[in-house]
């Protein structure tokens, strides 16, 4: 029995030695890297895609209704001011012109006749061959005939104007960007037929998400470049911000005036970098972020006790390699940036870093 007793004592001593080694290992501080939190300025920015559009764009329509019999342009056509774009059937309008012209000729003949009568009565009145009442009646009929002549002239002018409206003409030099009519289609007055993008200044139009404006109105200067060639970046200026939110998309339309040397084709996809005024916050490396019940947090080191505590934070913005903290930590706080995955509240650590 003595050998077995010795073996048991040996095993007990080995077990106790192992427990002591584990206690020593457990007592060793966890190695981490840390950084002192410091306040700094940052500038919120966002890159948003948009499209090049003409600064002035107009919808062209006929001023009379009728059937389209000719169309001379299509989407993409470059037109000149006064150029005929389409024509309606004008049989009715031409008939109106002929009727008005006949009415004018009749009114002219009546005026001529009444004028001769008035002149003859004027001579007879001087010789007292007719009464004053007869002369006054002739004068009245002449004035009536002249008024009818003016009415006939106006009617002819109106008929000619209506005839001219059967031709749709461009109101400026530009490019047709949309077409809503086709030959044979019946259109009504004021119905949009073409959309004309005027030659001249160009805008880059963006739909900026509403959240960006919660940080204040963006700065006027915007960097704009074609999506296909970012090397052509140009400095542009915000020209117009819509006063309302598009309820379908939750965005606000922003128009940016492009410089004269950035005459990119209409419809060119572009990307614009919008910036907000500079703000103050605490910038931390992306590796410092942890989670406390699903909310963002960091491990905060107490230099006195050399222990850590999980501290919830308010993140103002996540960026590519760091994050902006708006609350939860203060300048000079010591924050774990590496080695925090296996930490526990109250655990003693040893850190490297500033």
CATH number at residue 136: 1.10.287.470
Residue 233 lies in a domain: yes
Within a domain: 5: no
What does the pLDDT look like over 65-108, one tens digit per residue? 999 999 999 999 999 999 999 999 999 889 999 999 999 999 99
pTM equals 0.62
Q: Of 9-13, 28-32, 239-243, 282-286, which one has max mean pLDDT?
A: 239-243
Whether 302 and 344 share a structural domain = yes
Residues 172, 76, single domain; the answer is yes
Query: What is the rounded CA–CA span in Å between residue 262 and residue 270?
Result: 11
* 178-203 b/e (C-beta count within 10 Å ≥ 16 → b): ebebeeeeebeeeeebbbbbbbeebb
Find the CATH number of the domain harbouring 309: 2.40.420.20
pLDDT tens track for 163-194: 989 999 999 999 999 999 999 999 998 899 99
Q: Please indicate, yes or no, if residue 19 is contained in any of the structural domains.
A: no
Q: How many domains does the chain have?
A: 4
Q: What is the mean pLDDT of the chain?
A: 87
Residue 354 has pLDDT above 90, yes or no: no
pLDDT at 126 over 90: no
Residue range(s) defining the domain that contains residue 146: 90-163
Cα 61 from chain centroid?
A: 25
How many residues can be counted in the chain? 354
Is residue 16 in a domain?
no
Does residue 25 form part of some domain?
Answer: no
Instruction: Express each pLDDT in 92-102 by its tens digit.
Output: 889 999 999 99
Asked if 78 and 182 sit in the same domain, the reply is: yes
Q: Is residue 3 scored above 90 in pLDDT?
A: no
Residue 11: inside a domain, yes or no? no
Q: Which of 250, 278, 306 is the last residue of a domain?
A: 278
Is residue 15 over pLDDT 70?
no
Instruction: Kindly indicate the confidence band of residue 212, based on its pLDDT and cuts at 50, 70 and 90.
Output: confident
Are 162 and 64 in contact by the 8 Å Cβ rule? The answer is: yes
What whole-number percentage of the chain has pLDDT above 70? 92
| Residue 235, pLDDT score | 93
Between residues 261 and 5, which one has the greater pLDDT?
A: 261
CB atoms within 10 A of CB 14: 10
pLDDT tens, 302-315?
999 999 999 999 98
As a whole number of angstroms, the distance between CA 266 and CA 76 comes to: 10
Residues 170 and 73 in one domain: yes
Q: Is residue 10 part of a domain?
A: no
At which of 278, 300, 317 does a domain end?
Answer: 278
């Amino acid at each position: 029995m003595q050998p077995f007793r010795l073996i048991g004592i040996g095993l007990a001593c080995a077990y106790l030695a192992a427990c002591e080694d584990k206690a020593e290992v457990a007592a060793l501080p966890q190695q981490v890297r840390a950084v002192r939190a410091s306040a700094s300025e940052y500038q919120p920015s966002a890159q948003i895609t948009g499209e090049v559009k003409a600064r002035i764009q107009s919808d062209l329509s006929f001023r009379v209704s009728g059937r389209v019999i000719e169309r001379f342009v299509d989407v993409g056509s470059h037109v000149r001011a006064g150029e005929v774009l389409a024509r309606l059937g004008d049989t009715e309008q031409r008939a109106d012109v002929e009727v008005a012209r006949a009415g004018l000729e009749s009114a002219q003949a009546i005026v001529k006749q009444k004028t001769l009568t008035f002149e003859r009565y004027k001579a007879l009145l001087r010789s007292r061959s007719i009464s004053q009442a007869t002369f006054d009646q002739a004068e009245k009929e002449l004035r009536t005939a002249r008024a009818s002549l003016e009415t006939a002239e106006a009617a002819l002018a109106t008929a000619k104007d209506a005839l001219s409206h059967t031709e749709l003409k461009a109101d400026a030099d530009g490019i047709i960007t949309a077409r809503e009519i086709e030959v044979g289609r019946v259109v009504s007055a004021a119905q949009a037929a073409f959309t004309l993008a005027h030659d001249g200044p160009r805008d880059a139009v963006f739909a900026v998400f509403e959240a960006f404006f919660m940080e204040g109105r963006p700065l006027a200067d915007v960097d704009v470049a074609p999506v296909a060639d970012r090397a052509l970046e140009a400095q542009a200026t915000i020209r117009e911000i819509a006063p309302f939110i598009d309820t379908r998309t939750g965005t606000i339309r922003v128009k940016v005036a492009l410089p004269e040397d950035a005459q990119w084709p209409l419809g060119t996809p572009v990307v614009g970098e919008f910036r907000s005024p500079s703000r103050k916050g605490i910038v931390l490396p992306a590796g410092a972020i942890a989670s406390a019940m699903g909310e963002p947090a960091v491990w905060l080191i107490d230099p006195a006790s050399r222990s850590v505590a999980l501290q919830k934070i308010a993140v103002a913005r996540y960026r590519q390699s760091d994050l902006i903290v708006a609350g939860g930590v203060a300048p000079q706080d010591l924050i774990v940036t590496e080695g925090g995955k296996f930490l526990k509240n109250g655990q003693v650590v040893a850190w490297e870093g500033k």
